[in-house]
């Protein structure tokens, strides 16, 4: 149980276009989802925390207008990279926290989405 | 602000060796600490989760310890195998999760 999926797994787009990445909790409800990005040989960096039904909380240095996050339901959060540029090319991973569990429980991670902007 | 450091950054060993990966953190006010494995281009696979009240967790050839007061955790891998080759990340859970940069492990036959 506790599976998180991401779609697409890989996307290549032209500079200036927008890309939407979906994160779904398949068999549980997630009140909170986290979005991370990872540059090559770098650590995962938290971009934002997404709570169902409310606005996402962005980490310092992350542009809200560029990385639009929507957490419309307890099983789905989306990250839209608007007007993507080559420097946005990265590996994006989401994780979900189970609705019924406390902070002490594990996070469940999606498989990640590799975005390449040409 | 929480800072997480993992040492060594890279490790290359022959098959069969017992390994210790280190993770240190600056703020001991944590809920738990989690070790992950990441294969190239893939997402994270959770290996072990240690709650702040626990001292260690074991799963197969893996053993993770936590010394919250000193801000340290170790991941012990017994009898390493080539299939263990991956990047190992530790993540510390306070109000928000904070990741280390990882230890890149290569186990050669």
- Is B100 in the A-facing interface, judged by CB distances under 8 Å? yes
Per CB-CB distance under 8 Å, the chain A contacts of B42 are 111-112
With a cut of 60, say whether residue A104 has pLDDT above it. Answer: no
Q: What does the alpha-carbon distance between residue A94 and residue A74 come to, in Å, rounded to a whole number? A: 14
Q: What is the mean pLDDT of residues B40-48?
A: 80
Q: Supply the pLDDT for residue B98.
A: 85
Residue B105 C-alpha, separation from nearest chain A C-alpha, in angstroms = 13
Q: Measured between CB atoms, which of B32, B97, B99 is closest to A104?
A: B32
CB under 8 A, 24+ apart: contacts of B64-72: B64/B33, B64/B35, B66/B33, B68/B28, B68/B30, B69/B28, B71/B24, B71/B25, B71/B26, B71/B27, B71/B28, B72/B22, B72/B23, B72/B24, B72/B25
Nearest Cα to Cα of residue B19 among B97, B104, B93: B104
Tens-place pLDDT, residues A48-92:
988 888 889 998 899 999 999 998 888 999 999 999 999 999 999
């Amino acid at each position: 149980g506790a599976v998180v999926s991401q779609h697409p797994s890989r996307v290549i787009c032209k500079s200036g276009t927008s890309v939407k990445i979906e994160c779904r909790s398949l068999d549980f409800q997630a009140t909170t989802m986290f979005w991370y990005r990872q540059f090559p040989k770098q650590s995962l960096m938290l971009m934002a925390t997404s709570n169902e039904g409310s606005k996402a909380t962005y980490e310092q240095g992350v542009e809200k207008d560029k990385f639009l996050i929507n957490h419309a339901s307890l099983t789905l959060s989306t990250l839209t990279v608007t007007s993507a540029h080559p420097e946005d090319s990265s590996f994006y991973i989401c994780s979900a926290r189970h609705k019924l569990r406390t902070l002490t429980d594990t996070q469940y991670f999606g498989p990640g989405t590799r975005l390449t902007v040409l | 602000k929480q800072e997480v450091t993992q040492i060594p950054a890279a490790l290359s060993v022959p098959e069969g060796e017992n390994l210790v990966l280190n993770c240190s953190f600056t703020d001991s006010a944590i809920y738990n600490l989690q070790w992950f494995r990441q294969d190239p281009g893939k997402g994270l696979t959770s290996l072990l989760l240690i709650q702040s009240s626990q001292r260690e967790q074991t799963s197969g050839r893996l053993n993770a310890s936590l010394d919250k007061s000193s801000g340290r955790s170790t991941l012990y891998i017994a009898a390493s195998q080539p299939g263990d080759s991956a990047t190992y990340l530790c993540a510390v859970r306070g109000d928000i999760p904070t990741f280390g940069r990882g230890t890149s492990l290569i186990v050669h036959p």
